Amino acid sequence: MMRGLSIIFLTLFTVVLGFANTAQTAEGIKVGSVDSQRVLNESKKANEIAKSVEEFAKGKEKLLENDRKELEKIDEEYQKQISILSPEARKQKEEQIKKKFEDFQKKRAALSDEVRKKNAEVSKTFGEKVENIVKNIGKKDGFTLIVEKRGLMYSPDDFYLFDLTDKVIKEIDSQK
């Protein structure tokens, strides 16, 4: 919520700057932009992180494979025996299958939650790194304002004289 308000505020501020006195803008204000979607798509580091999360998810899915096979085996046995089982034995077997299935669902939900948390954690860490890089570029190169390029509804193509996306990608990929 707060981040969304910040983006809206920066967007409005940038639009106001765009309509400001051209001489003042050219002389005193240095505005840059970063396309964070390009950073995510083109950065080697972002791709490495995405692959690590994918491998983490695959590892968690493998943990479920044995449980899934066991559940299928129990169900197949039940289907073969259903005609010869007494009503009481049938009910007992159905309860056993139901319990196993519920346990499987709980385990799958817990593992899915683990993967979601891992993804959120690495996304947050990566986002913080990118944010720090942008701040450092801003300070080092004397920018007044650096905005997220896709966060704006409109700006003239030549409004941002400084697209820092490539610089951010290079910097994030150079970090360990």
**Separation of alpha carbons 42 and 47, rounded Å:** 8
Instruction: Specify the number of domains making up the chain.
Output: 1
Residue 139 located in a structural domain: yes
Indicate which CATH number applies to the domain containing 11: 3.30.910.20
Share of the chain above pLDDT 90, in %: 40
In a domain, 71, yes or no: no
Whether pLDDT at 5 is above 50:
no
Q: Does residue 149 fall inside a structural domain?
A: yes
Does residue 72 lie in a domain region? no
User: Whole domain around residue 49: which residue ranges?
Assistant: 2-57+102-174
pLDDT score at 150: 79
Residue 47, pLDDT score: 92
**27, HSE (Cβ side, Cα atoms, 13 Å):** 5
Asked if the structure places residue 76 within a domain, the reply is no
pLDDT at 25 (0 to 100): 46
pLDDT of residue 60: 86
Model confidence pLDDT, tens digit, residues 63-81:
888 888 988 998 898 888 8
| Position 75 in a domain | no
Q: Are 118 and 99 in contact (CB under 8 A)?
A: no
Q: What is the pTM of this model?
A: 0.66
Assigned domain for 97 exists: no
pLDDT digits (tens, 9 = 90+) for 85-129: 888 988 998 999 899 999 999 999 999 999 999 999 999 999 999
